[in-house]
Structure 1
Amino acid sequence: MTAVVTLASAARLDHVRRQQARLAGADVERVVVWLDAEEPPALDGAIVLHVPPGAHGMRLAAGRNLGVAEATARGHGLLVLLDADCVPGPNLLAAYAAAAASHQDGLLCGAVTYLAQGVTVEADTDLAALTAPHPARPAPAVGDLVEAAPEEYPLFWSLSFATTPAGWARIGGFDEAYEGYGGEDTDLAFRARDAGAPLVWVGGADAYHQHHPTSSPPWQHLDDILRNGALFHGRWGTWPMTGWLEAFEAAGAVVREGDGTGWRRA
């Protein structure tokens, strides 16, 4: 049996409803974790859990952990995690299930297509015709599985991935010390690498990211990125999200620490 775990908030509620509509006809149990302080709305057919924000913002790591714990307690053997703004492609569930059969303890990742502004996903939208995987990560052909090299683990994105309860237990789940935006997904990938769990690029497990306004670098998350980046550096000896940090630095918003190993607000 398969469970699909999704994080949700009021800001992404329309996206979540479209995602849930795409999943409604599938043989899965849907677990939605609401991250806002307010009580969650009902979502037809889904189990809705609530993880209010912490001192530093939304608790994405804690939310995913709670959703997986609920799905595992209900006896599901395949755990698929999709971000609120992602909808599954027509073969995503089957591709992840096939990959899990041969990689029981793996961290399984499908390609992600970022949909253009103005593309609204309805229940009958032909997603396959829109497929254009983001070029930053491998996108194997349908049916192919490619194990990542050790240096590819930082390319793990938590917006679409799958594993089994055995794989989740081996990795240990997300570190709930991360609050607010950024860092928790790369931390999970590094924990998987340390545990010897393979990161597997799964051909055909396509997800589609629904458009919403963003900024690059994400100025609204500057303090989160500095705080979570420092936490990550303390554990792994390197910083995540360096592209954004360098962009903040170029804009004069942050400066490097005296020893050059980190950043702080200017």
Structure 2
Amino acid sequence: MKVSVCTLAHGREEHLINMVKGLSLSSVLPDELVIAVMQDVPYDLPHTDFPIRQIMLGSGSIPLARARNTAATKAAGEILIFLDVDCIPHSECISDYIKASHANSGVWMGEVGYLPKDATRDGIQYDRFDRIAVRHSERPGPPDTGARSCEDYRCFWSLNFAISAKDFRASGGFDEAFDGYGGEDTDFGRTLSARDIPLWWIKGARTYHQYHPHFMPPVHHLDSVLANAMTFARKWGHPTMQHWLRAFVLMGLLERTDNGWRKLRDPGESDFALTRQQADQPYASSARVLAALEAEAMAG
């Protein structure tokens, strides 16, 4: 069974190099790594015992959905493992996904541990990563063993998942109408549900998310979140990303209307300060910010 690891990348060369190093430490090597490169210059990557194919997409405005679809289309594997460019796979990640594919059909979502800043300074040390990585408090945890069916399509997460090439084709891939940040994951999960393709959380298939500065809720992507929320609502008849939209309303960036939401202003420095991930935080938390905003609104 051939396995292709697929990722998309723009910048973050050090993060991508660490992914490649992690793949090289795998107990079962991938048959290839396929990178949808969203910039004009290819990456200078370490030598590996498996082929790396960089698919050059250029630096124009390219939907993330199109980049993922391109990587999947170019991949030769029967199993496609999608990893975010920030992820370092555990040595058993590929092996765990292969085992999962033998047990159940559908989409498998592995574990993610978030690393603090500078965690990779001394190289890839899985024992150390296991001690210091934390699970995202706003994401469901894995089962104690094996696999657990995920009945809520909204939980689909493209950061670390695998799917057979056959099922990916059956899904139709990611919808390229979602342009920019936000909504394309939930849409893909909704499509899986509509096409009766099962979704699974699995124990193992672990990756480690490397630190990078971020904002949550993603005020730096306000325009695309708003546009993609409206795209989702037109497609499925109901909205998505409502927790982010609620936060943006409380921040005075949007207002709720009879037809959805309307932008009031661009975010300013106070909005970025509120949502900015701090250096001591392994991940940015939408729930923390929304709770603070709700408390402020209640106080009055």
TM-score by length of 2: 0.79
Choose from 128, 143, 146 the match for 1:144.
146
> What SS class does the counterpart of residue 204 from structure 1 fall into?
coil
Query: What is the correspondence of 1:202-241 to structure 2 with a 5 Å cutoff?
Result: 202-241=202-241
Query: What is the correspondence of 1:79-228 to structure 2 with a 5 Å cutoff?
Result: 79-104=80-105, 106-120=106-120, 122-126=123-127, 127-141=129-143, 143-149=145-151, 152-228=152-228
Bigger Rg over Cα: 2
Structure 1 partner of 2:70: 66
> What SS class does the counterpart of residue 206 from structure 2 fall into?
strand
For structure 1, which segment, 118-127 or 188-197, has the greater mean C-alpha deviation from structure 2 after superposition?
Answer: 118-127
Tell me the alpha carbon deviations over residues 106-159 of structure 1, each in whole angstroms, 9 at most, x when there is no partner.
Answer: 11101222212232262334333334322333333464100112xx21011101
Q: Does 1:31 align with 2:37?
A: no
1:70 and 1:30 mapped to 2: Cα distance? 11
Tell me the alpha carbon deviations over residues 175-227 of structure 1, each in whole angstroms, 9 at most, x when there is no partner.
Answer: 11112111111111000000001110011122211111112222210001011
Structure 1 partner of 2:275: none
Could you tell me whether the CA contact under 8 Å between 2:254 and 2:262 is conserved in 1?
Answer: yes
Paired residues in the alignment total 254
Q: CA RMSD in A?
A: 1.8
Q: Does 1:4 align with 2:5?
A: yes
Structure 2 partner of 1:49: 55
TM-score by length of 1: 0.89
> What SS class does the counterpart of residue 205 from structure 2 fall into?
strand
Could you tell me whether the CA contact under 8 Å between 2:82 and 2:160 is conserved in 1?
Answer: yes
2:41 and 2:98 mapped to 1: Cα distance? 33
Q: 1:5 Cα shift?
A: 0.5
Identity rate, percent: 35
1:184 and 1:86 mapped to 2: Cα distance? 19
